[in-house]
Amino acid sequence: MNKLHSLAAIALVASGIFVVSQLSLLLLTSFYFYFAADQSLSVSEIVLAVIYALVIVAAIYLLIIRRRTLARKIVGDDTIGQPAPQLDWLPFAFRLAAVAAGIMMLPPIISKISAFVRVTDMITSREMELPPHFSAENMLELALLTFVATYLIRGAPHLVRWQTKKTLQQCAQPEQPPTPVS
C-alpha cells in the first residue's frame, strides 16, 4: 500500500466517523423527543429508524472496516508505487474530492426523505393533502440529488478522467509571453 492508498484510507475513515456520528446523533435526538414526551412510535418512524441504523452499519462496514478495498478502488492500480511527479496525484485528488462531496450531500438527502416519510404518514392517518413543498418538482430534485450524490460517491470516474485530461493538457501547453504592442 503506497502513500495514495494510505491517504485515501485515512480520508475514508474520517468520512465514516463523520457520517456515523451525524446519523447517530440524528437518530438519538429523534428518539429522545419521542420517549421524553411519552409518545408512541408510528410504523414509518420505526422504518425510518431501521433505515438510519442500516445506513450507520453500512457506513461502518464500507468506510471503516473495508476502507482498504474502497481506497484501492478510489486510487486505482497498486502498481504505481511511490508517485514521483505531482501529476500522479491528480486523478486521486479529483476522486477523493468527488467522494467527499458525495458524502457531504447525504445529510440533506436523508433529511428530505425522512421529512417526506413523516408527512406521508401524517397524511395517511388523517386523510389530508400533501403540503405544497412536496410537489413533483421537489421529488424530481430529490431524485436528481440522490443520483448526483451516488455518482460522486462512486468517484465520478468519467468526470475525473475528463478533468484530468483537460488539466494535463493545460499544464503541458507552455505559457506564451504576451506580444508587445507597438
Residues 53-74: pLDDT tens digits?
Answer: 888 888 888 888 888 888 877 7
The terminus-to-terminus CA distance of the chain in angstroms comes to 58
Domain regions of the chain by residue span: 3-77+85-171
Mean pLDDT of the chain: 76
- The region of weakest confidence among 6-10, 26-30, 131-135, 138-142 is 131-135
% of the chain beyond a pLDDT of 90: 0
Distance (Å, whole) CA 81 – CA 96: 18
> What average pLDDT does this structure show over 10-28?
81
Task: Say which residue, 13 or 35, is predicted with more confidence.
Answer: 13
> What average pLDDT does this structure show over 112-128?
68
Predicted confidence band of residue 182 (pLDDT cuts 50, 70, 90):
low
**Any residues with CB less than 8 A from the CB of 27 and at least 6 apart, and which?**
49, 52, 53, 56
Q: What is the pTM of this model?
A: 0.48
- With a cut of 50, say whether residue 77 has pLDDT above it: yes
Q: Assign residue 76 a region: left if phi > 0, alpha if psi is -120 to 50, beta otherwise?
A: left
